[in-house]
Each structure stands twice: as C-alpha cells, then as structure tokens.
Amino acid sequence: MTLLTLLLGILSVLLIFLLLLRYFDHGAEVREWQRLLSKQPEHPARFDPAMTAELPEAARRYFAYTIAPGTPLLRVAEIDMKGLFSLKPPEYLPMEARQILALPHGFVWKMRLVGGLPVSGSDTGSWTRFRILGLFPVARAGGDTDHTRSAFGRYVIEAVFWTPAALLPGEGIAWEAVSASVARVTVTRGELSQSVDITLGHDGQPIEVSMMRWSNANPQKQYRLQPFGGTLSDFRDVSGYRLPFRVEGGNLFGTGGYFPFYKAEITAIRFPLHTTLKN
C-alpha cells in the first residue's frame, strides 16, 4: 500500500465520520425542536390582569405592557432573525438564525454566518455545536453542569422579552421590586435558579434586561458569575403580545467592558398552536 493510498483512506474515513456526526447532530436538533414544540399548552388560558394583582407594581406594569387582556397564554415561541454576530470583538459578521424558546424546558438556536467565515450550528440547553463549512467542528461543548447553568440563564433572560406568558405567577416563578422602574423575576427549576432585572420605561415597556450569568466568557476562560444583559427596542404587536424586534446583548453589561456581540433584527415571531404538532 502506497503512502498516498493510505492517506486517501484516512481522509475517507475522516470524511465519513464527519458526515455521520453532522447527520446525528441534525437529528438531535430536530428531536429537541419537536420536544419543545410539544410544550405549547393545548388549551391555553387567556390573560386576565387579575392574574398579576398580587405582584409588585413594576411587575404589573411589565405584564400590562407585554400582554393584552384576553390573549391566549402561549409559552412557546419561534423566532426568525438576522443581524450581526461577533466571534472576535470588535469585528462583526452578518448572521441569520432560527430559534425556539420554551421556558423552563429549553431552547434551540440555529445560526449561520452569511458573510466571511462560513460558520453554522446550534446552541441549546444541552449543547453548543458549531462547524466551519457545515462539516468541521470548531466548537463542541455541553453535557456538564457549567453548560447547563449558563444555558439556563440565557433562556430565562430571553423569555422575559419573547415569551412573557411563561413568567406569569406560578410554580418556580418569583417576582420582587428592585425599584419603581425595575422588576426582578427569579425562575427556578430543580437545582437551577436565575434572576433577571427588567428596567421599564414610563409606560411599562421593558427597555433593558440584566443578570449575573454563570459564564466562562472572560480572559481566564473560567466559569463564574458575571454581568450579562442588553437593550430592547422596536416593539411590535404579535398575536396579543408586544415584543421587541431589535435586541442587542453581551457580556459585562452595565460595565466599561460591555460589548454587544449579538445584534439581532427580528423578521418573524410565531406562537405555534398545539394542533400544528400533529401535522
């Protein structure tokens, strides 16, 4: 066997392995997406402001702004977006992404960079998997308590502005007043707990969200609690909800080191009905 034949054989085995890995990863994404879709209430209740009567005044203002009376309380949303994403500050690359968000059960964010480096993949409550050219892994993490805790923080803070119905009073949801213009919600699921501060405008519009997130986005690459958050704007009505169509966020929010690595312009938000799951 010649050296060239041996090298070709090794490359062929490697290519087959990478193709199989992508195939199984794609299947996992599809299954997780469908699992989260199944968490949509089949017979949702409708929003009544009386549901928030016992909450702090700032929290009541938040719900009065984000959910119209009589709106079906749908807790699962699908979001399409485009915008800018930074892999290496201060540089940005155009991105496109689709997401499903289902607090407290999880999320799937499928993203691809559409300019420059051809990176694509997915981020979920269980894994982070991204590839170059759709084939060669450049990031593969998950399956440990650090990732789970960090991911939980992400989908709690996103639920604040994209699925407010998931934060109505109930098991695992606690509200408190920080000030007249800041409400704090804490979401607990099992051993996981995350608090998010919501800064409100005079009309109750959430304009900023912030939290202490478990993250290794620091020079030492060590997991620790550090500031995370962002700004919300361009609110629009979607099926009885008033939601932001422009979101910017990043690490060290509220400090001199803040850099918004994520700048999203939302192109569509959907609240899929339970009956669509049977198609």
pLDDT single digits (tens) 174-212: 999 999 999 999 999 999 999 999 999 999 999 999 999
Q: Is 53 helix (H, G, I), strand (E, B) or coil?
A: coil
pLDDT of residue 39: 97
Tokens of 236: 């629009």
Share of residues in the chain with pLDDT > 70 (%)? 97
DSSP state of 30: H
CA 268 to chain CA mean position, Å: 15
- Cα separation, 24 vs 31, whole angstroms: 11
pLDDT at 277: 42
Q: Please list, residue by residue across 173-196, b when 16 or more beta carbons sit within 10 angstroms of its beta carbon and e when fewer do.
A: bebeeeeeebbbbebbeeebebbb
- Using alpha carbons, select from 279, 276, 223 the residue that is nearest to residue 251: 223
Q: What is the pLDDT of residue 279?
A: 37
Nearest CA-CA partner of 39 in 102, 89, 86: 102
Residue 7 CB contacts under 8 Å (≥ 6 apart), including other chains? none
- CA pair distance 39, 98, nearest whole angstrom: 18
Structure letter (DSSP) for residue 246: E
Determine the Cα–Cα distance for residues 115 and 117; give it in Å rounded to an integer.
6
The pLDDT of residue 180? 95
The residues facing 208 across adjacent strands are: 199, 231
Q: Give the pLDDT of residue 276.
A: 45
**What sections of the chain are H helices per DSSP?**
3-37, 57-66, 145-162
What is the rounded distance in angstroms from the CA atom of residue 260 to the CA atom of residue 227? 12
pLDDT reported for residue 105: 97
CB 266 within 8 A of CB 245: yes
Rounded to 5°, the CA angle 272-121-106 comes to 45
CA 191 to chain centre: 20
Tell me the one-letter amino acid at 91: E
Q: What is the pLDDT, as a whole number, of residue 10? A: 82
Residues of the chain with pLDDT under 70: 1, 274-279
**What is this structure's pTM?**
0.92
